[in-house]
Each structure stands twice: as C-alpha cells, then as structure tokens.
Structure 1
Amino acid sequence: MVLASSAFALAATPAYAGPATPAYAGPAALSAPAGLAAAEVSFTAKDGVVLHGTVIAPAPAPGSGTRRRAALVMMEGAGNRGRGNLLPEAEAFARRGIVTLIYDKRTVGYSLVHRDYSVLADDALAGLRLLRSRADVDPGRLGLWALSEGAFAAPLAASRSADVKFLITVGAVGIAPAAQTAWQYGEYLRHAGVSGSLPHTLQSTAIRMTMSAGIFPEANFDPAPAWERVRQPVLAQWGALDRQAIPQESGRIIRQALERGGNTRHTIRIVPGLRHNLQLTADGGFDRIVSLPPDYGAYEASWIERSASARPGTSAGPAPADDLPVPTFTPPAWYESPWWELVAFLVFLVGFAGYPVTAVVRRVRGRRSAPPARRPARWLAALGLATTLGGLAYVLFMLATAANVIGPVVAGHPIPWLVLRLLAVATVVTTAACALSWRRHRRDMTRGDKARVGLLIGAGLVFLPWAVYWGLLV
C-alpha cells in the first residue's frame, strides 16, 4: 500500500530543475482587463529561483500623473495552479484602487510530497520588494493577502519584515495540516451521506500511513507560533460555508495566538453565505464554482484604509458550529510502519498473484495436473488480488480527489467501497474453505502443490488483519 502511495505521489510531482531555472512558465502574458493595466514581471527569490508574475493595477487617467496606491502580494493556496487562478480576485481589488501582484508558485522545493512554508514566506517577501519599488505603490499601505495554505506562510513573512504593513487572510487554518485534512474529508463524506468504516479509513488510517511514509509534507506544522509573532494589523476572514479550514476553531486559535503576542489590531470576520475562498456557492460550500460576490473586495479596501488605527475586532456575522470534531493523531503503532505495509503487499503478490502465475508456467511446461484444492485456490487467488489491488486503487483515488468525488451511496457506503467490503468478506470465507480443502487433501498433493496452496493460504491469513486495519472488515 505505502509503496504504491509513494509511487503515486512521486508520479504527480513535477521534475526538479536547477536553482536558477524559472520555477514555472505559467500562462501566457495576461492581457489587461478593461480599465486596468497588466504588467508582466519577474523577481528572484532568496534561494535564487526566478519567479514570474503579473501586476494588475488601475489604469492611470491620461495626464493625471502617478498616484500612489495601496498594494497586495497575493499568495496562492495549496497546489500550483498558476497566477491565473487568482486573477478574478486580483482584478476585483484593482478595480477598487489596489495594486496587486499575482505570481506562479515555485516548483523547485515545492511539490506534492515536499514543501517548506518558510521558503514560501521568503518568496512572498521577494514579491513585496518588487511592489515596493513601483512608483504607483504607497509603501505605507503595502501588505500580504493569503488564501488557505498561503496563510500558513503569510504570518511567517509578516513577522520577518517591517515592510509588511498589514496582513489579510482568507480561509486560514489554525491547526496542523494533517488534522485539517482529516476534518475536511469528514465534511465531504458526511455531506455525501457516507458512514461506516470509510470515514475512519480516510481520516485516520490513510493520513497516518502517508505521514509515516514521509509523503505528507508539513503534516504537523503548528501555525500558532507564527501568528504570535505578527505585529501588523490583521484581517482574518472565513466564509461561513467553509468546508476546509474549520472556520470557528481556526478563528479562535488565530485570535488567541495574536493576543498572546500582544497584537490588539486584528479583525476576525466570518462572511455569511460564502465558501472557503469567499466565493459564491450553490451547494452549501461543497462545490468549487468560480463566482465572486458583486461587492468582493469592498470590505478589504475599506479595512486597508483604516488598518493603521485598527482596534480589536469581533466576528462579523454568525460563526458556524463545526459539524465534526477536529481529529487528533497519536504516534503510529508498531504495525503502522510503512515497512510492515510493504511486507504485507509483497505477501499478497507472492501468494495471490503467485498461484495463477505458477499455474501458467506449469501449463507451458506441459504439467497439466492440478492440486485437489484447485477450485477454492483459484477463487482465493482471484478474490485476494481483486480486493487488495482494488482497495489500494480506491483509497488512492479518494486521497487524490480529497474525498470530493463520492458517487452513489448505498446504506452509507459508496458503491465501490461496498463492493470492496463484500469482496473482503468473500476472501476471508474462501481462505477458510481453501485451508479446509488443503488439510483434507494434503496427502494427495505433491510437495510443490503444498507449497503453492500454502503460500496462497498464508496470504489469506495476512489479509485478515490487513483488511481490518483498512476498514474493509469492520
């Protein structure tokens, strides 16, 4: 299981390049929307990686001269979707008189299995220096705007530079990424009507295994210490229908961290009717349509103007009750080592796949005799392979889609998971039948047949605790 998980993760990881290579070519030069100006820019990160972006700004009126304006460096959420992903928000801010920089996130040092929020913070500060050098930017109204995962790095950046005059976050998470991911899985599964063993498998077993295997980057990162060091005015916002960032709990944690650090200039804002990225939703926050509210950016623009004198804030709008408790993770048990998973997977390959392979070899060599237990053995080999490989594929699919593609649910089980559970029961029953047949006919078997069927039964016995651990038999 863990071997295939690692292969999946590595296959999805962009290839690394040298330190001076552009991180991501990104989209073609973004054209300037009507009434706005767009300028393609490049800037160099602290470690020498060249980053590319676009500055979106209000178009200067003819003959009006240069006017200094408030400005934002916009930090993307998880993944590397390119600067165009934040273009609608950047345009909305620019239409309200704010200069914005959107840029392509690095891939050198950032991938599916590796990332460093400290490095991402330095990248944002490099972009801030670029904005600060522009004639149309007011250095006294220059700040950071960060979405989701970007809000893990933004407080680090703010604590490192006095050039950051304010910090705005959207969908910031106040707990470790592993616990947040588990909570998000629970929200999507509950929304789809899933119950039974699958939520525990995804929220606990799969996440713990990826953590043990070292392919869950920054899994235990604690954001609170970085928030304690932020001295600038802070506007932390969540959509009331945020199904990813645990808005109520994250807001409480971030507020307490700021106050522990002595920061009294913060506003915690919960916005009714909006989802994780403060966009509109047609499905209670579980969809991902791209649709900005008509007044997007108005509150932020007003807040920036008064941020120098900001006072302690209170939540604007009702804070939603978090439907599910925040999962906690204890250190993995000895049997949760990736090496034990690898051993189990090899046993399944040798036992379940080895039986039909040796049968083919025997046929090729002209040995057509078969052991007396061949019928239950054939069933066990087929069922064991289908269940282990199918279970592996399904769990990987659910992880890759963040439990957001569920499909039809029957009796609290997605149909693929229900089929896998039935196959698991059939595998256990067939293991018992094969063992009884082997015991009854062992004197009629050759030594080679005993070994073949014995390995097959051994794989079936290992399958039992493995299936229990992965939730297929509980």
Structure 2
Amino acid sequence: MLAALIWAATIALLLPAPAARAAGDDLVHEEVTFRGSGGLVLHGTVLSNGATHTPRPGIVLLGGSGPGPRVEYRQEAEAFARAGITTLVYDKRTVQYSTLHRDFGLLTEDALAAVRLLRDRSGVDRHHVGLWGFSEGGWVAPLAASRSSDVAFVVTIGGSGYSPLRTQAWNLTTHLRHRNVTGSFERTVSGPMAQFIDAAGLFPTADYDPVPVLESLHRTPVLALWGQYDNQVPPRESARIFQRALARAGNEHVVTRFVTGGAHNGHRTTDGFDRIGGPLFHGKRLGQLAPDYAETMTSWIRAVAAGHPPASSAAPAPRQAAPSTPVPSRTPFAWLAPALLLLGFAACPVTAVLRRGPVMRPIRWLSGLGLVAVVGAVACPLAVFAIGDGAAAPVVYGRPAGWLVVQVLGVAVVATACMAMTALWRARRTLDRVAWLRPAPAILAAVGFVPWALWWGVLRP
C-alpha cells in the first residue's frame, strides 16, 4: 500500500499541472514563460474561456511606457478571453529598458516571441494571432507587424502618430494647462527644454517616426482606437496620420474609432484626467472599461478571424484638447548655452578661492545669483519631463512656484549685472590688469544671460 501511494505521488509530480481557474471566475488562466530578445526569460499568463473543438483567434497584449506588469491590463485580457479570443499578457522587460534607455527593436522581438508562443498552442488558430498595443505599444505593435507575417492583425489604443518627444511635449503641456499653468513655462517645456533633453540624449527614441512603419503595412488589418478624452497623445491628429499613412500603403482594412467616455487607456473618465471605477494600480484607479470599448475590439477581431476584415472607415474625431506643435530641431546650443553660462558665473568665485584675491561685492552677488538662476531655469522644466506635471505644483499666478522664483532671480541677475558694471566703471582707474580679468567671465556671462533667458522664458511673462 505504501509503495502504491509513493508511486501515485511520483506520477502526480511528473504530470503537468492542470490549468488554473480563478475562484468565481469562468476563465482559464495558465502561467507561461518564453524567451524574448537576447534570451531574456519573460513571464506571462494565457487566458481563455475553456476548451473548444474549433481553433480560436489569439491576441498578445503590449503595454504602455514604463515597466508595466501584466496586472495593469487584466481587464482587457479578461474581456478578450470572455469573447473567445485566447489572450497572452506578459510582464514587460526591465532588463535593457529604463527611463534613459528604450529600444523599440527589443520590445518588438519580445512581442514576436509571444506571438510565436501563442501560435503554437493547441486550440489557437495560428493564422489569426494579432497584437494589441497601448500607448507606447501603439508604436511597437505596428513595428512588429511590419517585421513578421506571423502578426495577423493589429489593434491599438492611444497610439500616437508623432515621435515620442513631440508626443510627450504635447502630453505635458496639456496637463500643465489643466493645472492652470500658462505663459512662458508651458512654452519652455515644449520648446527649449524639449530641445535640451533631445540634444543631451536624455530622452530615448526621441525622434522615432511611426509613419514609415505604418506605410509598410500593406495588408495587415488595423483597428486604431483613441479615447474621446485622450489627453496623453493628440488623438485627432494621430487618427489623421494613421488614416493617411495606411491609405498610402494601399491598406483597405483600416478602421479608426473613438471610445465614447474613454480616457487615454480606453477606460471610463469624465474629462481624461480622472478614472471611474476599476481596480487600483500603484494606488491609483485604472478605471473600468468604457462601455463600447471591449465590444468594438472583440467584434472587429471576430470579423477578421472569420475572413471578413471590415473595410476601411473613419469615425468623426472629437475635439482635441489643443493642437500639437513640432519640437524645434535638435541643436547643441540648447545644452551648450547654459553650460557656458554656468562656467562664466562660476569662474570668478573659483579664481578668488585659488588666488585668494579680493572680489568686488557686486561681482560676488552676480556670480552667485547667476549660478542659481541658470541651474533653476534648467531644473524646473527638466523636473516636469522626469517626474510629470506634478513637479509643477504649487502654481502661483499661472506659474509653478519654483519657476516664479527663477524669474525673480533672472531679473535680479540683470539688475546685479548693471550694478557690477557700474562699480567696475567707477573703480576703473584703481584696478590693475588682474583685477579687470577676474570679473570678466561673470560680466560676459551676464551679457549672454539676457538673450538666453529671453529664449528660455525666464525673462518672459
């Protein structure tokens, strides 16, 4: 008897575990692993609504920017699975992916590896496995489809027709306006600061152009969706870009729609800035799926899988929060100018310490104020790019409080520069050559500070 029990236990350990079915759930969840680009092991979950004798279409979900775990897209995964579409959702790579390093090629290879896994599963129609891409995934999914015929169709939600940098500049300025930020700071974020981080290489894939990829999708059916209240990518303009690029490709199966009452992620919202219902993710609500969001996607996929991809059509676009503006061309001046100003303002106190010579009080004030003003002018908009529009709080008189301080410092730099020049002129007969050379870098920096501060927005309302 004991031997029989041991034998039975051994067999139970060797047999594959049955697919898990969550308590109170009608879906089958199976944990899977697969190797993405570079052999990296990725973990995911395959969801289906049970066994079937007829092969079903499949879909792989690609998340937005950041190290989004699969739980963030649980609502979409379950909606697809309940509609009879076998769904794979996986944790995004965190290796070779960070705030300062993005590689759409790596993400594309991961996506295609996931497609291959799903195509090889029993019960899945290997000829009808597609990709769903949200936000950043709206760039990756078409790229993957352009590189492999294994991708049978593409669905995007909140995909941008512009480069990542232009999209992010629009996103940030839209959110700044929502915080009642107006005037020069908003223009600095979308103009000089966008140029600065681009030239300094601080924004990965900044200039990636999605249009050539869209123009290569000749036969792949595409369903492109945007929330009615999308405030993270310019939805009206993006829809127009998708339509025109895919039309130039000769693609006759492109459908663009707008999710009524939907936010950037297609979930319920009142204005795009809040979320209604849904689970919590990192302490914030994701929002429930908007009423017609899931049905629009699942009915379209079923039509594609049935061999009747819908003909191209475009729904009327709702009002967009604001038009987007092109990011100025990359120029080293964007980061070289503040670097030279910092060197100029820092030269006087450094030489004073090294040579222990006297420095006129107005020059000392000019050097100190100039250093703080330039650092603050760069740091304030840079923080918005790094952290988000929350870095602009609190807002005073239509400006972030930090920016208001920087603007006061900018005026003080100009005033102090005038005082320093006046003091030098009055003492000109008593100063030797060294005494003249020591304040020269600060004076030159002050002269250059004025046009730079006007361009950067420090001396503008």
SS in 1 for 2:38: coil
Asked if 1:465 corresponds to 2:451, the answer is yes
2:36 paired with 1:39: no
- State the Cα deviation string for residues 337-384 of structure 1 (Å, max 9, x = none): x44443333323334x537x729x95xxxx9xx55x32x334323322
Who is 2:311 aligned against? 312
* Alignment match, 1:53: 44
What is the alpha-carbon distance in structure 2 between the residues aligned to residue 65 and residue 193 of structure 1? Answer: 55
Structure 1 unmatched runs, 5+ = 1-29
Inter-CA distance 454–259: structure 2 relative to 1 (3 Å threshold) = closer
Q: Output the amino acid matched with 1:413.
A: R
Q: Which range is displaced more, 148-157 or 219-228? A: 219-228
2:195–2:328 CA contact under 8 A, matched in 1: no
Q: State the match for 1:152 in structure 2.
A: 139
Query: Which letter does structure 2 place at the counterpart of 1:422?
Result: V
Answer yes or no: is the 8 Å Cα contact 2:172–2:385 preserved in 1. no
SS in 1 for 2:191: helix
Give the partner amino acid of 2:123: D
Structure 2 unaligned segments of length 5 or more: list them.
Answer: 1-19, 276-284
Contact 1:407 1:414 in 2 (8 A): yes
**Deviation of 1:169 (Å):** 0.5
CA distances 1:372-424 after superposition (whole Å, capped 9, x unpaired): x32x3343233223212222221221111343543243333222212211110
Task: State the alpha-carbon separation in 2 of the partners of residues 396 and 126 from structure 1.
Answer: 36
Please give the alpha-carbon distance, in whole angstroms, between the structure 1 residues aligned to 2:391 and 2:79: 31
Cross-structure match for 2:12: none
Measure how far apart 1:168 and its partner are.
0.7
Match of 1:77 in 2: 64
Q: Report the CA distance between 1:108 and its aligned residue.
A: 4.1
Find the residue that maps to 2:88 and give its secondary structure: strand
Instruction: Quickly say closer, same or farther: Cα 1:96–1:459, change in 2 above 3 A.
Output: same
Residue 289 (structure 2) pairs with residue 293 (structure 1): yes
Match for residue 268 of structure 1? 256
**Residues 87, 354 of structure 1: alpha-carbon distance in 2 compared, 3 angstrom cutoff:** farther
Are residues 335 and 31 of structure 1, via their aligned partners in 2, closer, same or farther at CA, if it must alter by over 3 Å?
A: farther
* Residues in 1 aligned to 2:157 and 2:37: alpha-carbon distance in whole angstroms: 25
Query: Could you tell me which residue of structure 2 aligns to residue 403 of structure 1?
Result: 389
Q: Distance in 1 between matches of 2:370 and 2:339?
A: 16
Offset at residue 218 of structure 1 (A): 2.3
How far apart in 2 are the matches of 1:418 and 1:31? 56
CA distance in 1, matches of 2:22, 2:458: 54
Q: Deviations over 1:263-291 (max 9, x none)?
A: 11121111122111101224x11246411
Identity, in percent, stands at: 40
Q: Is the 8 A contact 2:47 2:86 kept in 1?
A: yes
- Tell which deviates more after alignment, 306-315 or 446-455: 446-455
1:328-339 map, 5 Å: 328-332=326-330, 335-336=333-334, 338-339=335-336
* SS of residue matched to 1:309: coil
Partner-residue secondary structure (3-state), 2:224: strand
- The secondary structure found in structure 2 opposite 1:52 is strand
Give the whole-Å Cα distance in 2 for the aligned partners of 1:287 and 1:383. Answer: 40
Counterpart selection for 1:164 from 132, 142, 151:
151
Aligned pairs (5 A) from 1:271-420: 271-282=259-270, 284-287=271-274, 289-293=285-289, 295=291, 296-307=293-304, 308-316=307-315, 318-332=316-330, 335-336=333-334, 338-351=335-348, 354=350, 358=353, 362=356, 370-371=358-359, 373-374=360-361, 376-420=362-406
Q: 1:377 to 1:52 in 2, by over 3 A?
A: same
* Match of residue 423, structure 1, among 388, 406, 409: 409
Separation (CA, whole Å) in 1 of partners of 2:184 and 2:157: 33
Contact 1:270 1:315 in 2 (8 A): no
Letter in 2 for 1:45: G
Question: Displacement, 1:429?
Answer: 0.5
Could you tell me how far apart the structure 1 residues matched to 2:202 and 2:331 are? 18
What TM-score do the two structures reach when normalised by structure 2? 0.83
Q: Is the 8 A contact 1:51 1:105 kept in 2?
A: yes
Partner of 1:255: helix, strand, or coil? helix
Shift of 1:73: 0.5
Q: Distance in 2 between matches of 1:56 and 1:443?
A: 86
Per-residue Cα deviation, 1:143-195 (whole angstroms, up to 9, x for no partner): 11001111112112123333322211001111222222222233222222222
Q: Which residue of 1 aligns with 2:226?
A: 238
Are the counterparts in 2 of residues 173 and 180 from structure 1 also a CA contact under 8 Å?
A: yes
**What pairs up with 1:97-116 in 2 under 5 angstroms?**
97-116=84-103
Aligned to 2:15: none
Matched residues in 2 for 1:301 and 1:51: separation?
A: 26
CA RMSD of aligned residues (A): 2.8
- Which segment drifts farther, 183-192 or 165-174? 183-192
How far 1:100 moved relative to its partner? 1.9
